[in-house]
Structure formats: C-alpha cells, structure tokens
Amino acid sequence: MPDVIEEERTPPVGHVRVVYLGPTSPHWEIRSDFGDTALIDSFRDRINARLLLLPPHDPQFRRNRERVNRDAERENVLLEWDLGYDEEEDEGSSR
C-alpha cells in the first residue's frame, strides 16, 4: 500500500466574491469580506486584468476564469462567483 501524505488544510487567508454586473462595461465587481488588504487588492488587480472586458458568455471568459480559480488556490483565497444565474442549469442546456 503506497504511503499517502495528506496535506493539512490551512484556513483561507481571504475571501473574494466576483459579481457579474451586466452587459455594460465594467462587467465585474470584486468584493471582499475578509483578508489582508494588500493581498486582496493585488488579487483584485489580477482578476480585473483577466476579466475587465469579458462578459461570461465570451469564449475567453471560461479560460480566464480557470486562471483566476488557480490563482485563488495558490494564494489560499476563498473565491466565489456570482454570475447572476444558476450555472448548473446553464451547463445542462448547452449539451
């Protein structure tokens, strides 16, 4: 039986919610509930750089969203997306 090393989960260092504002630019608002201000501001700048002109229906959005998700994992930031609709329903209708 192989040795399994379990990573200890540390509590998130911050929280960010990315909210879709609608079709008129700017499309996104980045809100934070807790965390170091400098860390959150830096994370917010990176999110804005990736999403500024992209609405959620743009094909580039999916790729950039995954990049933001990976960045949040690296930074240990709890990340939420509010696109204004239930994403599970949207995925089911596109198949």
Provide the residue ranges of all domains of the chain, joining segments of one domain with +.
Answer: 14-85
pLDDT of residue 6: 53
pLDDT of residue 21: 93
pLDDT tens column, 24-68 = 878 999 999 999 999 999 999 999 999 988 999 999 999 999 999
Q: SS3 letters for 6-51?
A: CCCCCCCCEEEEEEECCCCCCCEEEEEEEECHHHHHHHHHHHHHHH
Q: Is the pTM of this model over 0.85?
A: no
Q: How confident is the model at residue 87 (pLDDT cuts 50, 70, 90)?
A: confident
